Amino acid sequence: MKFKIHYNVGDFEDCYIISGETIQDIQQKNDTEMKKRGIHFEKNNCWSEEL
C-alpha cells in the first residue's frame, strides 16, 4: 500500500508519500513522519490519496 499524505498548516501546504503493508503500518509511519517534521495540525487539514 502507498499513500500520498497532504496537509495544511496555516498558509503552508505540503505532502509526502508513505508505504506500508497494513493501514496500521501506514498510520504508525505517518505519526513518525509528522513528529520528524514538527507538524501539528487539525485532522480536517490533512487528507490522503492511495497511489
pLDDT the model gives residue 41: 63
Is the CB of residue 33 less than 8 Å from the CB of residue 18? yes
DSSP letter, residue 42: -
Q: 23-34: b or e for each residue (b if 16 or more CB lie within 10 Å)?
A: eeebeebbeeeb
**5 has which bridge partners?**
16, 48
Taking only the tens place, the pLDDT of each residue in 1-51 is 999 988 887 788 888 999 999 999 998 998 888 888 777 766 677 888 999
pLDDT the model gives residue 42: 63
Query: Phi/psi zone of residue 46: left (φ > 0), alpha (ψ -120 to 50 degrees), beta?
Result: beta
Domain boundaries, the chain: 2-50
